[in-house]
Chains A and B, each alone.
Chain A
Amino acid sequence: MATTGELSFFRSLAIQFRVLHALLMRELITRYGRDNLGVLWMVGEPMIFTLGVTALWSAAGLSHGGTGIPIVAFAVTGYSSVLMWRNATSQCSAGIEQNKPLLFHRSVLIIDVFLTRIALEVVGASSSFIFLSFFFIFIGWMPVPDNLLLVLAGWFMLAWFGSSLALLVGGGTAFSPLVHRLWHPIAYLLFPLSGAAFMVEWMPKKFQELLLYLPMVHGVELLRHGYFGSVVRTHYDIGYMAECCLVLTLCGLYVVREASRRVEF
């Protein structure tokens, strides 16, 4: 630190990791506390959501168009995907406001706050998905995935989409509080369109085209193709989803950089 702060790449990387570690440990306690389950809530919370939705959809006997997809597997794959893009973004949309005082530590940047929250949500939702799948497969309510590699690919794409959206929305809140306000209704309205509660194949042709403009629909379809194999016809274009994610990521990173110039106390 002798001169103006031109740090070597590796030194910067070391600082980056230690800041993320510090924020992760802090966030775990501030969010989940030490009482009762503590940090296990990171997995418990999304699990309860998913189980609740699974129970509701099973009880309602959601229409499958006679495709023979087990309802439990359908709900678990669907709702877990929603968690991937919705929760990280919601957390980041409140990230600046809740962590602003930490910026007094010069190595803590807004992007660190976002990366921490995204990591927690992705890990939480993934663990919940894995745990529930294992459990339901074990008791025989869910089939074994047809093609695990496709499932992972779908999951990765959803994680990428969620992370880039989280950066964009989180950074956007520094520009206008409207972004935070509007995110929640938007998330609510996107949920029924996100492909979680239906397969694209079941929809009218005209509507399918419109739905496939939404990037996450491709991710869910890919995930389900991997899970159910050829039981159902899926519609997705990973190239299109990757393009969307790439654009979102670039915009997100730009907005986050601008956000750090705009933060006021």
Chain B
Amino acid sequence: MLSVEHVSKVYETRRGPHKVFEDISFTLQRSRNLGILGRNGAGKSTMIRLISGAERPTTGRIRRGMRVSWPLAFAGAFAGNLTGLDNLKFICRVYGIDYKPLVPFIEDFTELGSFFREPVMHYSHGMMTRLAFALSMAIEFDCFLIDEAMIVGDARFHQRCHYELFQKRKDRAFILVSHDVNAIKTYCENAVVLHDGRLFAFPNVDAAYAFYLQTLANKPEVIEQWQM
């Protein structure tokens, strides 16, 4: 089980402390999933970073009773003069597995051809994303963190991601953050909304969606009602 317990995150800014969110709690069981909806700047990516462990909460704690992935398709850790293969080796060394059996899958999925053995700095954005996604599939996690905004590609790429993630690994837990309700409606069994530094829980995705629409329309009086 993954549990987020009374988590707050505060950043120091030039105008003093900025609270991204305060006292947020939720849990996620194995093999279950959760969508997190939120407008731009609501703190969705911050939440993903906290859950992944790259950043620490200011207060509260996050307990990971299962293997939680890094944000899917995260390409930020690529160094320009490492090749695709170097990056695969690096990740396999960190997680203590043998890289060789994975090479065929990575080559097939990324369709990089000979570029797999070229430095990443010569890659296009699409090639980078395909490699990053494939590397996320190389390690078997119990729970995937998915920031929908990071997975940008053509229809074929999306189809293949869909197959790898939601068909081949449909027994895994995941957290999907997005500002687009379609993705969440398609993949998630339940959803919460991040708004104004707080987390709003709902009995089902439709209720979350209805509330999310209100936050988009920015109607404070409606939002107040929900806070009761």
Contacts and interface: CB of A to CB of B under 8 A. Distances in A.
Interface in A2-42: 2-5, 14-15, 18-19, 21-22, 25-26, 29-30, 33
A103 B77 CA distance: 9
Interface stretch (B49-57, B171-179, B201-209): B49-57
Interface residues of B, number: 29
A124 to B, nearest CB: 19
B4 to A, nearest CB: 14
Interface residues of A, number: 29
Given A26-B82, A106-B52, A263-B55, A21 B77 contact: no
A261 interface: yes
A258 to B, nearest CB: 11
Given A1-B67, A26-B79, A108 B52 contact: no
A7 to B, nearest CB: 12
B94 A19 contact: yes
Contacts of A25: 89-90, 93
A92 B175 CA distance: 35
Interface in B89-117: 89-91, 93-96
Nearest to B94: A22
A205 interface: no
A104 B52 contact: yes
B66 interface: yes
A260 interface: yes
Interface string A107-139: 110000000000000000000000000000000
B68 A26 contact: no
B214 interface: no
A2 B90 CA distance: 25
B90 A26 contact: yes
A260 B56 contact: yes
A29 B67 contact: no
A1 to B, nearest CB: 6
B40 interface: no
Nearest to B71: A104
A104 B70 contact: yes
Interface secondary structure of A, over-half rule: helix
A102 interface: yes
Contact of A265 (B55, B63, B81): B55
Contacts of B96: 14-15, 18
Nearest to A34: B81
Contacts of A3: 65
Given A5-B64, A264-B11, A29 B82 contact: yes
A206 interface: no
Given A104-B70, A104-B74, A264-B11, A30 B81 contact: yes
Given A104-B49, A104-B52, 20 more contacts: A1-B67, A3-B65, A14-B96, A15-B96, A19-B94, A21-B93, A25-B89, A29-B86, A30-B81, A101-B76, A103-B55, A104-B54, A104-B74, A104-B76, A105-B94, A106-B53, A106-B68, A107-B95, A108-B94, A265-B54
The 7 A-B pairs of least Cβ separation, nearest first, read: A22-B93, A101-B76, A101-B77, A104-B70, A30-B79, A106-B53, A22-B94
Interface of B: 11, 49, 52-56, 63-68, 70-71, 74, 76-77, 79, 81-82, 86, 89-91, 93-96
22 contacts: A2-B65, A4-B64, A5-B65, A18-B96, A21-B93, A25-B89, A25-B93, A26-B82, A29-B81, A29-B82, A29-B86, A30-B81, A30-B82, A101-B76, A101-B77, A102-B77, A104-B49, A104-B54, A104-B74, A106-B70, A263-B55, A265-B54
